[in-house]
Amino acid sequence: MKKIVVLLVMFFLTFVVVGCVGVVTTTTTTQATTTTTASTQSTTTQSQGTTVSGQTTLPTTTQPTTTTAKVVMDLPDDEVEILFWHIYGQEKSALLDELIADFEAMYPNVTIVSTSQSDYDTLREKINLGISVGQVPTMALGYPDHFAAYITTGAVQPLDTYINSNVRYELTDPTSTIFDQGYVDVALDIEDYLPGYLAENNQYIGGFYYSLPYSKSTETMAVNRTVLKAHVDDIRALGITISDEGFFSHETPLTFEDIQKLSTILVNETDSTDVANYQCAYLINYDSPGNMFINMSRQWNAGYTNIQGEILINNQITKNMLNYTKAMFDARTLVLPVEWSEGYGSAYFMTGDVCMTIGSTAGVNYNIPTGTDDNEQFGKFEVDFLTVPQTVTQETNNTAVTISDGTNDYNITGSLSAVQQGPNIGVFSNASANEKLFAWLFIKWLTTSENTARWAMDTGYLPVRLSSYSSTTPIELTPTFSITYDDFMGIAQTYWNEEGLITKRDISASDSFRVSSQWIELAADSLTGLGSFNIEEGEMTEPIISKYIETTGTTKVLEIYNGTGAELDLSAYTLGLYADGSTTPTATLTLSGTVADGDVFVIYNSTDAAVIAEGDLENATVMAFDGNDVLVLKKGAAIVDSIGQISKTADFAKDVTLVRFGNLVWEPTNEYWDYLYKSMVANIAKNQADYYRYDPAFAAGSGSAGSAQVRVEAGYCLENIYTAQYTPEGALSFMLNQLVWG
Amino acid sequence: MAEVFVKNEKVYKAKKIAFNIATYVFLAAIAIAVLIPFYWMLLTSLKTEELMLRIPPILFLKPEDWEISNYYKLFEVVQSGPRRGEPLFPFFDYMRNTIIVSLVTTAGTLITTVLSAFAFARLNFKGRDIMFAVLIGTMMIPGEIFVLTNFLTINSLGWYDIMDQTFMDVLFAMTLPFMTSVFYIFYLRQTFKQIPNELYYAAKVDGTTDFQYLLKIMIPVALPTIVTITILNSMGAWNAYIWPAIITTKDEFRLVSNGLRGAFTDTSTGRTDFGQQMASATLVTLPLLILFFTFRKQIMRGVSRSGIKG
């Protein structure tokens, strides 16, 4: 016993002694660092001084950066350590780490320490605490209201000096991976960022950019297309455009007027789902009541908050809006997750209790039914994504109109609006001039057209740059799958163009041939499915090329599929080879024999027994393509189908097995289609980007709560109305009481 | 007479059985109430996302439906990038940190508590009672208020250097503010006070010093209380959340509690992967359970003895 106690005391004493030594040493080092911070601070104030003077002389119009003469100097090569705080766990930070490694290779004197602070609240709390003692990271992720609070203490660096800088740094370190490029410009093409994101990031005091967009998302509406498909005629009778396959327009949003009409068809009389009649218990679930309140306020031009921190909700338009919303709650047209005491309604969308659901674009995967759950009343139904419903149309945008909730009419002048959300990235002013410079260059690097597209596809966020949407640089998403953002957007477009079905494609040689938009690429040398092909729906008048195999060996195979609905005599068809950019056929093969309906005809050049077993016709002249050669199937003089583009010489299909979209379409193993839903929401987001709106961000003041709190209370307000705890007026005044103290 | 006796015995037996049944039913009900959260944790950790969302919830799961992927996902490694091969969720690092921090905090707490409780209970010095009253008064201040002052202290001691924080910094920062507890001092002082003064005087006559008296008499007599303090304090350290989250700047310094909070939440949607979270919670609980079952006798003895006065 005694020994143990003595041991404990000894242990404690050592601990205290070590601690004291630690204190002594650290205080001395702290003193040392204090002096250095003092010196860096003087440079900081200097740079801030220039910012301020730069701002006062700057007119509000953006400076034309192209004509500005460059001030050229050497890039600082002192060792710089940048501390970047975010909240990405190991999984997401894998890509971030790659981008950091690339950046460090570009600037070998820079080390970026990227640290996750687990969640946004912890991150903000630590920065707020850190500001009081001068311990803030060089740069951090944050929501606009976080930055608004940091700005009140002067802790954030305005980025305008960098954006409009005319400084060009010459690269002096030959080990840099971009040394050949010669120089790096500080300035940034700010015009290339989505205007909505820019407005959000310079809404702060003085109109400075205190942050730049990084991980952005918006809301989208997932719909149960299987249910819609069953009511196509009824929906058309209401005057709403819908395709035979149950697709609404992906550009023109539905209005709440449309939604109310749809509700009469799609919502069951009792509050339960009727599978036989394709009716749900509720029409639309809105995941975030806070977003719903804000978005509806904007759509009604009701006034919500402003950047001065004034809370403008106490007005008649807001009251009308809430009454209008309540009417939709009562009709089961709208439902909030509070109905099921949940935070999200996705589970109830999948089970079929609700036909449509509005949620974050980043949460797409939560809305796709699995087909394995017995509770999914519609089974594995088909899902489509739409823009969020609007109160007014593109035509009645900002014009006086009268809308009705069935009992009351309201005169409004509304606007189109969809929320934009997601964190931004900013730099703290405490850092040294060099740290800030490289932090800035790092932000530039993270948001290059290609990197932001890559980040978006990898994480489910959206690109922050306009040019990303048309980017044609292939991006590797998995070791076996690469795609450009343009083609990524094309996944959904193809699906929508084809009405969710793969039918005959009219492809001519003049079409620009893109593997990803019409073909599925299998692993090199794969013979998977050779000898059989099937397209479930649709009729075609001509055969198509269904498989193309160009192996790493000598085997070449081409498979032709007859989906015409009758037996086909092939003797009318020829297959031409246009080798190495030739504009005339270098070899021609006249086909022979017949092929039954739904069957394939295999032409081959191979000694592989597996190929010969499936083969119908052997040939060595046309079947000598090697990856850059074009193949054209003709009936007489008319082109029926082709692979590649005549006159092009690039290797577009070397060492690959290509399979035409067909019965493979719904195979979940196919990576291309794995991105279908992500692609859909990316398209939706792009289509509603014109009317993105953001929350004015402000910190809590002496008389009222901060913007984050207003959003939370706005959510409670709608929930209180939904649960009939309060009348709309009552809920609104309760909300005001919670927010305004002055 | 004998019949009456037999009859009485029968009644007595019946009563006893009824009483036993009532007791066991009551105990079973309480046991279920206590065990359900653990059962639910285990059950959730074995469910797929889809099973988790089922309504009504699934209460029992056949072994063939168990989804053990939640467990091995915890030990996955990063697939690409510069951190390739490193664990996705550094579970063992977090565990190690938690164990070290709770050991150090508990050791420190025990030393300060025993010494000051002894002083307040046994030693006579000027202002003892006033000092004690002031100490008790500090219990009125909610712990969260200390976060800011503690943070400022730790920062000025140089242990919160965000650019270059070492593990020793973190260890001091996390343990030092929690090495004393007024409540435990008060608790132990009351136990010490119950030890008869005669023992102290007798020991003094025998020539022992105060410290020897503390070691040889007081600590052994008050051992059950000290064991209780040890258990409560380790639990507190194990569960600490806010302070460790604020004071650690690097991921590798985090405790299991913070690690569990953030690691399984999808940052873009704010949704949590409950399956994995519960799987890791199960793994965190496991060492404590093993500890309990191994030292069951000692712990129970400590708890039961604490009822007997020294």
Same domain, A203 and A225: no
How far off is chain A from B134, nearest CA to CA, in Å? 25
Q: What pLDDT score does B7 carry?
A: 72
Closest C-alpha to A204, from A48, A309, A54, A56: A309
> According to the model, what pLDDT value does residue A695 have?
86
Specify whether A30 is located in the same domain as A67: no
CA distance B16 to chain A (A): 44
Q: Which of A35, A57, A79 is where one domain is finished?
A: A57
Question: A415 at the B interface (CB within 8 A)?
Answer: no
- A246, A376: one domain: yes
Query: Residue A61 has what pLDDT?
Result: 39
Nearest to residue A344, comparing CAs of A331, A332, A329, A354? A354
Minimum-distance CB partner of B220 among A1, A26, A370: A1
- Res. A11 pLDDT band, cuts 50 70 90: low
- Is A181 a residue whose pLDDT tops 60? yes
Q: Which of A686, A681, A735 shows the shortest CA–CA distance to A293? A: A735
Q: Residue A363 belongs to a domain with what CATH number? A: 3.40.190.10
Amino acid identity for residue A639 in this structure: I
Q: CA-CA distance, A738 to A742, in Å (whole number)?
A: 11
**Lowest mean pLDDT: which of A16-20, A595-599, A645-649, A702-706?**
A16-20
Contacts of B259 (CB under 8 A, 6+ apart): A118, B89, B90, B91, B94, B280
Confidence of residue A516 (pLDDT cuts 50, 70, 90): very low
CATH class of the domain at B91-305: mainly alpha
Q: Tell me if A136 is assigned to some domain.
A: yes
Contacts of A422 in chain B (CB under 8 A): 268
For residues A550 and A447, state if they share a domain: no
User: What is the 3 state secondary structure string of A31-47?
Assistant: HHHHHHHHHHHHHHHHH
Q: Is the pLDDT of residue A378 over 90?
A: no
Mean pLDDT of B196-213: 88
- By mean pLDDT, which of A177-181, A644-648, B119-123, B224-228 is the weakest? A644-648
Locate the DSSP E strands across A622-715: 630-635, 638-643, 656-660, 692-693
Q: What whole-number distance in Å separates Cα of residue B215 and Cα of residue A632? A: 97
Of residues A19, A22, A460, nearest to B268 (C-beta): A460
The answer to the question of residue A670 being in a domain is no
Q: Answer yes or no: is A488 within a domain.
A: no
Considering the domain architecture, whether residues A432 and A551 belong to the same structural domain is answered as no
pLDDT given for residue A656 in this prediction = 81
Distance CA A372, CA A384 (A): 19
Q: Are A732 and A314 in contact (CB under 8 A)?
A: yes
**CA B16 to chain centroid:** 38
Q: Which among B13, B91, B128 is positioned nearest to B280, based on CA atoms?
A: B91
The tokens of B128 are what? 């003892």
Element (H, E) at A103: helix A90-106
Taking only residues 445 to 464 of chain A, the set having a beta carbon closer than 8 angstroms to any beta carbon of chain B reads 459-461
pLDDT of residue A671 exceeding 70, the answer is: no
Q: How far is residue B181's CA from residue B171's CA, in Å, rounded to a whole number?
A: 18
d(CA A680, CA A674): 11
Q: Which A positions 474-493 lie with beta carbon below 8 A of chain B?
A: 479
Of B88, B176, B271, the CB nearest to A90: B88
> How many structural domains comprise chain A?
4
pLDDT on residue B301: 66
Count Cα neighbours of A667 within 13 Å in the Cβ-side half-sphere: 13
Of the candidates A147, A107, A138, A164, the residue with the CA atom closest to the CA atom of residue A44: A138
Give the H or E element holding residue A322.
helix A316-330
Q: Is A666 on the interface with B (CB under 8 A)?
A: no
How close, in Å, is residue B262 to chain A by CA atoms? 5
Whether A422 has its CB under 8 Å from any CB of chain B: the answer is: yes
DSSP A353-422: SEEEEEEEGGGGGGGS--S--TT-TT-S--EEEEPPPBSS-TTTTTSEEEEE-SS-EEEEE----EEEE-
A388 & A266 share domain: yes
Query: Is the same domain home to A142 and A24?
Result: no
Q: How far is A278 from chain B (nearest CA, A)?
A: 21
Cα(B46)–Cα(B281) distance, rounded to whole angstroms? Answer: 12
A205, A235: one domain: no
Using one digit for the tens of pLDDT, what is the confidence trace for B142-166?
878 888 889 999 999 999 988 888 9
Phi, psi at residue A213, to the nearest 5°? Answer: -65, 145
- Local confidence band at A12 (pLDDT 50, 70, 90 cut-offs): low
Domain contains A669: no
- Parent domain of A310: 221-415+678-697+705-739
- Distance of alpha carbon A43 from alpha carbon A58, whole angstroms: 22
Q: Which two tokens stand for residue A156?
A: 């954030």
A325-339, A475-489, A662-676, B35-49: the lowest-pLDDT one: A662-676
Instruction: Please give the mean pLDDT across all residues of chain B.
Output: 85
Return the bridge partners of A224, or none: A383
How far is B70 from B48, CA to CA, in rounded Å? Answer: 8
Give the percent of chain A with pLDDT over 70.
85
Tell whether the model's pLDDT for residue A715 goes beyond 90.
yes
Residues of chain B with CATH 1.10.3720.10: 91-305
Enumerate the residues of chain B whose CB falls inside 8 A of the CB of residue A373. 50, 54
pLDDT of residue A536: 56
CA closest to A120 among chain B residues: B267
**How far, in Å, CA of A158 to CA of A51, rounded?**
8
Instruction: Using the predicted structure, report yes or no on whether residue A683 has a pLDDT greater than 90.
Output: yes
> Tens digit of pLDDT for each residue in B251-283?
888 888 887 776 777 776 777 788 888 888 888
What is the C-alpha separation between A163 and A55, in angstroms, rounded?
Answer: 12
Q: Are residues A450 and A323 part of one domain? A: no
Minimal C-alpha gap between B79 and chain A (Å): 8
pLDDT at A442: 97
In a domain, residue A672? The reply is no
A133 contacts in chain B (CB < 8 Å): 151-152, 155-156, 160
* Of A534 and B194, more confident: B194
Do A620 and A718 reside in the same domain of the chain? no
Domain boundary among A41, A57, A73: A57
Structure tokens at A427: 């730099």
The phi and psi torsions of B175 (rounded to 5 degrees) equal -100, -40
Cα dihedral angle (A452, A458, A460, A463), rounded to 10 degrees?
A: 10
DSSP string over A512-563: PP-HHHHEEEE-TT--TTTT-----S---SS-EEEEEEE-SSS-EEEEEE--
Same domain, A266 and A370: yes
Q: Which residue of B has its CA nearest to A214?
A: B268
| Element housing A611 (H / E) | helix A609-614
Residue A334 host element (H or E): strand A334-335
pLDDT at A211: 95
Q: Is residue A480 part of a domain?
A: no
CA dihedral A283, A286, A292, A298 (to 10 degrees): -50
Average of pLDDT values for A576-604? 88
Q: What is the pLDDT of residues A26-72, one digit of tens each?
A: 444 434 333 333 333 333 333 333 333 333 333 333 444 455 678 89
Q: Are A165 and A186 in contact (CB under 8 A)?
A: yes
Q: What is the mean pLDDT of residues A467-484?
A: 84
Are the C-beta atoms of residues B61 and B46 closer than 8 Å to each other? yes
Q: Which two tokens stand for residue B170?
A: 């973190």
Please indicate, yes or no, if residue A673 is contained in any of the structural domains.
no
Q: Is the pLDDT of residue B291 over 90?
A: no
Arithmetic mean of pLDDT over chain A: 83
The residues pairing with B274 across neighbouring beta strands, listed in sequence order, are none
Give the pLDDT of residue B263: 72
Nearest CA in chain A to B51: A373
> Whole-angstrom Cα distance, residue A514 to residue A645?
9
CA–CA–CA angle A539, A543, A548 (5° rounding): 125
In this structure, which long-range contacts are made by residues A506-511, counting pairs with CB atoms below 8 Å and at least 24 apart in sequence?
A: A507/A544, A507/A641, A507/A642, A508/A639, A508/A642, A509/A630, A509/A632, A509/A639, A509/A642, A509/A645, A509/A646, A510/A645, A511/A642, A511/A645
